[in-house]
Every structure is written in structure tokens, then in C-alpha cells.
Structure 1
Amino acid sequence: MSTKEKVKSYCSTCGRETNHEIIVAHSISHRDDYDCDIKYQIVGCLGCEFVSFRKSFVDIESAYPNRDGEWEVPEENDVYPRVLQGHVGIEDIFHLPDVVGKIYTEVLTAITEDARILSGLGLRGVVEAVCNDLGITGRSLETRINKLASSGHISKSDAERLHAIRFMGNDAAHEIRRPHDGALRVALKIVEHLLQSVYILEKEVEGRLEPAISKYEKFETLLLDALNEYSPGDELPLAKFLGKDLRRVKESISILESELISKIQSGAFTSLSIGRVDAYQGSQSPLQHFVVQSPV
């Protein structure tokens, strides 16, 4: 068993304070103007064996007697590399667009280093970067956040929370106001929820679940896949082409069908042509039919 001295220290790998073994240590004592010791230590976690650097400031000048009559000496500890204690970031960061991922990573560094003004600006910058990536335009970030909700990327409640990030970023930029640590922690959660919703969950759902579809681009992909089961000349309504997948677009089918007709008329979609309007298998109202075209 090792006889080296042990200390309690935060382990970034274990995500909590664990027992560490002091591998190398060096101390400097000050007794002139202010009584204190500074300890420099290389420590290894006795659980996962992760090695870190630990600096301890022993404030002898501020020592005080406890209830048992023993002297307590305040000690401040810093562990390097620094981490956000208790924070679990986005693991699948590779799913994020390059620019969005880089800004998010830099924001984590700024918050970890307690650079709060830069952190407030950076969190606002992440929201701006997401809007840029999704093609959400507008004269102000306020308009762009509202468009994120109206276009279906986020909920109205999510948009309201993102406006709080906007306010924080504006205060940091224009009033040089330093956010409180608690406010930054909550703001980081909001931004990470945005990234999870827009990018991470989207990737994880693909090929595993069948979410509802409201965006035309995804509808067109679904329709093209369905048309592989039909032959040129077949004339049917969209419900027949889509079959069971109709449930995925049911809430938006009228809007999607209108956009499909516009694409066909403009020549942007050539796999179908517009057919007759007629009843189909006892439908209560006539349905727009489409004719499958031969591949070019």
C-alpha cells in the first residue's frame, strides 16, 4: 500500500471530489508581510488515476479557533486543468456545425476561467451562430429568435428563454455588466438545450424513430422514397403514395401539398405531374391526384 500523503480534491473525470495521492509537492512559506503558505502539488486520483495539478493557498493569517478550541486554517484550492464542477456538457459535439461547436467550446472555457463578461457575449454568439447555420435571417437577434420559433425549430417557451440570453449578451456588450455565476449556469443550460434540440436529438432520431414532418424538404425526401414503389403513369392522391407514412405529415399535409404543386409547376420537382381532382375509394371530397413520371 502506498505511504504517500493523500488529499481530497475535485476530479474532472470522476465528476466529484475524490481521494488523491500527492505524487510531487513543493511549498513556499511567507512570514514577512502576510503569514501564508502556498503548496504546489501534482496529484493522482485514487479512483480513475487521472493526474492534475493542485495549488493550495493556506491562509495562516486568517486562522481562527473552532468550538473544540482547535485552530482552523482557511485553505483555498485550485485544480488545473480547470473544470466546471458539476457540469456535464454536450458529449456528441461532433454533431454540431463546425462554427457552432467552436463557439460553444470557447464559451465553456470562458465560464470555466470565470471570464463572465466574455461568457455572456459568447452565449449570445452561440444563438447567433445557430440562426446563421439554419438560415434564419432578420435585422436583429430578437427577430431571428422569434423566427426560430415560428419556423418550428424551437417552441415558444424556448424562444422566451433565448431572449434572456439576448438580454444578458446585450448587457455584457453595452453596459459591461458582469453576469452572476448562477445566471451563467442557467444560461448555459438554455443554450445547451437549444443545441440538443436542433442538432443532437435530430441526429439520434434519424433511422431510429419516425417523427412528424412539417418541413417541405423532409416531406419531399419521404415522398421520393415512397414513389419507388410505383410505376410511371400511376395516378393517385398523396395519401395513397405515402401510405402509412401519411401519419407523419397529416398535420401539415395541406401546406405541404400546396408547396409540392408549386414545385411541380415551376419545374423544380419532376417526379410527379399534376393530375385530375377526383374522389378516391369513397372519399367524402375530391382529392388532388398526381401522375408518376418516368425517370429522366
Structure 2
Amino acid sequence: MKKLDAKVYCSSCKQKTNHQILYTHSQSSDVKDDFQWHEKHHIAQCLGCDGICFVKQYGSEDMWDIDSGEQVWVDDFTVYPEEPQKVSIKERIEEKMFHRNAKHFKNAPESIQNLYNQIIESFSKGYDILCAAGLRTLIEGICTHLNIKKGYLYDEEGNKLPDDDGKIRKHESLGGKIFELYDKKFIILHQALILQRVIKFGNDALHQMKTPTYYTLKEAVDIVEKVLYDIYELKNHSLLKK
């Protein structure tokens, strides 16, 4: 039998293990659709204890990474029963780990500021999935406000990435739009690369209800705040007027 392409959590072994696939149901977008995605639902068996679990595998054109300078498409795997959180939301709130004050970006559109405020509120209350999904929506909102429609994909060295057929073209995906922000000098390359990671776990939250860690969210909020400042506030800095 075929093995899952990734290790997933086993509730009996209490750790991530290899699993073999017993049964799979697949569905995907049409080849003519603007946005390409696929989803597989597996019944799988742990190769350590023989325990049975349900695994959801999801991938889309927004979900890719750079490996040795090449564009590599990646899938996410969500297992049921899920891996338990090491620290509960209640415990984190009691310890005030999540509290964060929203910043005011006076030159940003009201819709962008309002969405950012809601993201910070979700972060402070420990609503991980809402916060992650909100960050993805905020990035798309920035692109919409700046009339960014599509863009090329780049590797970590700033080289344009070709498609599987070897052609270099602009993509209408959010990943392409983020790199168009870089092309138009709204952000730097490394900000664009980090935002690609942010939309990846934002997609996980939207499509798989997958919860990112507190520290992942904190770092994502940090970089998104920096992007908001660079795009909307920096050009209006008081020192530029003196």
C-alpha cells in the first residue's frame, strides 16, 4: 500500500509517525479554473501501532516553497484526531501571553485599519485561526487597494521562476500579487518571501482549520505591521518634510 507523503500525528503513539493509506477520496479544481487546487481525504493506518486515523491533504497554487532555488509545490496534511495543543488558549490568556495593542496607521485606508484592528483583537484573545485567516485577507486587501492584479514569482535570490513548461509569466494568485508589490518597490524581497509564508498558514486556517503556533502568529503580525508602516506611513514621515 502507498504511504502518506508526510508524517502525521498518531493519538496512540503520541507523536508524528509514518502512515499507510487504506482508502482515498480525491477532488480538485477544473483545469480551466483560474485558481488551481486539489484535496484528498485518506483513511490511514499508523505503521507503528496500526491505529486508524482520518487525514485531509490539501494543496493549491498559492502553496509552494523554494528548495535549492527551484519552485516546489507543497501540500498540507491535517489529521483527525488532531494533535493536542501544548498550552490551552485559556492558559495563554491567563498568562497574558497574547495581549497586544493595535497600532494606528493614519495614512492607511479605513478598511485596512479596521481589519488590522480586528486581527490584533483576535490575536489578543487567542483566536488563532481567525487571526491567521485575517492576516491573509489583510494582505489581499492591501493588494486590492494598490490595484495590484498579478505578478511574477521569484526565488530567494530575486530570480523570476518559470512554470512547469519553462515559461515565465505573471500569476493572478495572491503569491504573484505579493511579488508585484516587490516589483513596484512597495516592499523588499525578503518581506515578499515572508508574506508568502504568511498566506500559506492563512490558507491552512481558511481551508483546513489548522492552528498556527503563538510564536508563528506573533512573527507574522510583526512583519505585517512593518509592511503597513512601510507602504502607508514611511513616505509621509515628518523628516521627509524638513
More helix by share: 1
TM-score w.r.t. the length of structure 1 is 0.41
Which structure has the larger Rg?
Answer: 1
Q: Which has the higher contact order (CA 8 A, sep 6+)?
A: 2
Give the alignment's TM-score, normalised by structure 2.
Answer: 0.49
